[in-house]
Amino acid sequence: MHLDIVPILGKTAEGAAFDRIPERYPMALAPSAASSTDPATVEGGGEHIDAPELRLFVMALFFIFGGITSLNDVIIPKLKELFTLNYMQAMLVQSAFFAAYFIVSVPGALLVKKIGYMRGAVVGLLLMMAGCLLFIPASASATFGVFLLALFVLASGVTVVQVVTNPLISLLGPAKSAHSRLTFAQAFNSLGTTIFPYVGAIIILGSLATVSADQLSGAALDAYRVAETQAVVRAYIGLAIALLVIAGVVWFNRNRLKGERHETGSVLASFDLLKRPRFAFGAACIFVYVGAEVAIGSLIVNYVKQAHVLGLDDQSAGKLIPIYWGGALLGRFIGSAVLRMISPGKVLAFNAVGAIALILISANTTGTVAGYSLLAIGLMNSIMFPTIFSLACEGLGKRAADGSGVICVAIVGGAVIPPLTGQLADMSGSLAFALLLPALCYAIIAGFGIYARRPAAGVAEKAT
């Protein structure tokens, strides 16, 4: 999501701005030269593909994978009740999903280098569709582990699609307007994270029965789980159909990028960038940021349901999730203006401290203040990912794309921090106490903001 909603991340040693990436869980793969097709034109010394209809479908992909990711916040309370899980076990939903970024990122990049953007996108879309369809046997078996498998396969497809979409949207038009297109496309990602949870709350959480799973056993429990998970199945079958249609359109256009070329060399060589303290600190901050953001989003329904907070039913609580994710979208507009006037490091530190303050307010109050102060953390999250990314990659020059790939692997924090937060909730018996872990994550981010408030040493020099 860009268009001046997010600041330019940085400059290469040669002075060309390197591409910004989606605020939420991005993946990058940089070609050595832009692809060309029959209608391609050359402007300003850089090739681009003149295919406006492809841009529409790429933006649709941003919308869908953003929405699918945020649906986890709705599924967690559903599965927690049906399988009588504790908080740590319920958070394995996020672990199964975000583990795919760690496991599939490098193979996905290699696959796209081998078969190209369009065919790579088709593979990713079909993987996503397979993950959605796996919810059918997951429901029929009434087994939590099969649901986790379905989520992992779905997330694997999302990862491959993200490998494709970031560089592809840059190629689909003149280089001078690449950032504008990325901003506009990423806005669809945020739109998805705002809309999908609301619709999901109606379809998935609205069907929770009056009887509780912990009151049943044996065949009656299995039958209850099968019946109640049908709402989840219907939602994901609808997504599978939409994904199949989009995959068909992309396959139909698979030969549009005939002159496509990619960098050669080992993807794993990128990890030597972790020897640079500033970059390593930034990558660690991506890890804790994604973990904190996902952990809080995952707890929203159960948190606001508490009698001393808002005391809502499941569906009403689920409908509040878009406030959290919508705050991130709104915050980008505000942050864009602020970052033009104030050092990005200082703004990052301010927002991180603001998130900590909101956690403390929520944990130590009740009612409306407790509920909405938690939701307001989304506003603080708004500029964090792109700002951490830009500060970490500052001065990387030609290796900016390598840095982006490593940072993408750090997104695995979304698989680690949430279950640890759930474990704290189980041990203490308090969701408010469990929020101390996300607060610690934000404290680390604040430290990085202060550390990186000045330009990287040698930023104007050519990186090696």
- Interval 16-54: pLDDT, tens: 333 444 444 444 444 333 333 333 333 333 455 666 667
Give pLDDT tens digits along the chain (464 positions).
333 323 333 333 333 333 444 444 444 444 333 333 333 333 333 455 666 667 777 788 888 888 999 999 999 998 998 898 999 999 999 999 999 999 998 888 788 888 888 888 899 999 999 999 999 999 888 899 999 999 999 999 999 988 887 677 767 776 655 545 665 666 788 888 989 999 988 888 875 555 677 776 778 888 888 888 888 898 899 999 999 998 998 888 777 766 566 666 566 777 888 999 999 999 999 999 999 999 999 999 999 999 999 999 988 999 999 999 999 888 877 887 888 888 899 999 999 999 999 999 999 999 999 999 999 999 999 889 888 988 888 877 767 667 777 887 899 999 999 999 999 999 999 999 999 999 999 999 999 999 998 776 655 444 44
pLDDT digits (tens, 9 = 90+) for 439-449: 999 999 999 99
Alpha-carbon span 425 to 435, nearest angstrom: 8
pLDDT of residue 282: 94
Tens of pLDDT, residues 209-243:
556 777 767 788 888 888 888 888 988 999 999 99
* Angle between helices 277-305 and 72-82 in degrees, nearest 10: 50
Question: ∠ CA 326-332-333 to the nearest 5 degrees?
Answer: 105
Tokens of 449: 């903001």
41-43 vs 46-48, strand pairing mode = antiparallel
Residue with tokens 């109050």: 365
- Residue 1 is predicted with a pLDDT of 34
Q: Provide the 10 A C-beta neighbour count for residue 212.
A: 12
- Which domains, and CATH codes, for the chain? 18-264 (1.20.1250.20), 267-464 (1.20.1250.20)
Q: Can you read off the two tokens belonging to residue 119? A: 């065919």
Q: Is residue 185 helix, strand or coil?
A: helix
Q: Take residue 328 and report the two structure tokens written for it.
A: 């991130």
According to DSSP, residue 18 is labeled P
72-82 helix and 52-70 helix, angle to the nearest 10 degrees: 30
| Residue 234 identity | R
Global confidence as pTM: 0.81
Choose among 35, 64, 60: nearest CA to 168. 35
- Alpha carbon of residue 249 to chain centroid: 24
With CA atoms as reference, report the closest residue to 180 among 343, 17, 397: 17
Residue with tokens 């907070």: 309
Q: Can you tell me the distance from the alpha carbon of 316 to that of 452, in angstroms, rounded to the nearest whole number? A: 41
Q: According to the model, what pLDDT value does residue 6 have?
A: 33
Convert the pLDDT of each residue in 375-420 to its tens digit: 999 999 988 988 898 888 887 776 766 777 788 789 999 999 999 9
Which of 54, 56, 46 lies closest to 17, judged by CA? Answer: 46
Average pLDDT, the chain: 81
Helices (H), 3-71: 52-70
